[in-house]
Amino acid sequence: MNRLEKYILLLENIFGKKAIESFTLNDRHTLKLAMRDELNNQRAKKTYQRKNEGCDFCQSIYRNPNFPNRILEFPGWIGDLTFSGTAPAKEIMIIGEAPTTLEDQINIAFGLGLYPIGRDGKLNADQVRKLYSGEKSRLKGIMRNQVKRNRLWEYINQLFCGKLSAIKPKIYITDLCKCNDDVVVNKKTKKNQQMWRNCLSKYLIEEIILINPSLIIFQGGSSSKYVTKFLEKQGSIKFVIPKIFGEFTLNGEQIYFFKIHHQAYFYRWLNETERASYINQNRQFIENKILKEILNIKEIFN
């Protein structure tokens, strides 16, 4: 079984075979996987319900009436995922913490270029209004979340030296927790922690191996904490900047990692001066170490 086949099987184990057939296109001859038309994908996701397919852990342990509607915090990327030899399918892997609302997921799709977005990383509001002109409640939710809550791509653009357009085609975005974790937490069994550890060991580590990025960006503390603790137990991780930046070996491949603030923390809990300070203190390191050295993106600075 080649890398493409293993990756498709991984997605089927998480989301179900029907979902993967509905939302992706694969070319087994060239070992490529692409998303189907994302506008249709997002409209379909509003009514898609997973029934007796995909991850059996959540369906058995976290049986709740909302589960069928929590299907897709689907990975996001631009263009093709190409599984050629051991080369990265995408060079940058952003790992968030957990799925949120469908509106937030739509904003991620906008940010990946699957919907209109400006060079500054902000949503093209006029185009969004045209796309959702007949769905006032959905449009209201999208606009509210983009403006007030989900500003990930605007944040990445600021942090990565205004070079979003150059790095966006290299990005693959996913989450530690594959299903929405709005389950009732039993303090004795700590079910949320069980679910997150299961997602990590059963899915995310394999996902990292198959994508084989050059750089992982942890957005927020939870994804970083769970993954780095797992790797520390394997004895394969080295911190260069404590808790922030380092490298590890997985399946024989060297991968760098960089932890950044969660975008919600960046915009909600830091004031304008604090945000500017955070951006400025990381700018030189990101430009020289990450963009130029690790990702070998030098021409955009000439």
Q: Please give the Cα distance from 203 to 73 (Å, whole number).
A: 14
Higher pLDDT, 60 or 110: 60
- Residue 48 within a domain: no
- Residue 24 within a domain: no
- Residue 185 within a domain: yes
Q: Find the mean pLDDT for residues 41-48.
A: 54
**Tally of structural domains, the chain:** 1
- Residue 198 within a domain: yes
DSSP state of 254: E
- Residue 291 within a domain: yes
Q: What percent of the chain has pLDDT over 70?
A: 70
Highest mean pLDDT among 72-81, 172-181, 256-265: 256-265
Residue 121 has pLDDT above 70, yes or no: no
- Residue 213 within a domain: yes
Q: Can you give the residue range of the structural domain that contains 139?
A: 73-301
| Pairing label, strands 171-175, 76-77 | antiparallel
> What confidence score (pLDDT) does residue 207 get?
96
> What confidence score (pLDDT) does residue 186 get?
54
Inter-CA distances, 117 with 18, 95, 154, Å: 30, 21, 10
- Residue 49 within a domain: no
Task: Indicate the pLDDT class of residue 46, thresholds 50, 70 and 90.
Answer: low
CATH number, domain of 284, equals 3.40.470
- Residue 234 within a domain: yes
> What confidence score (pLDDT) does residue 59 get?
64
Higher pLDDT, 116 or 28: 28
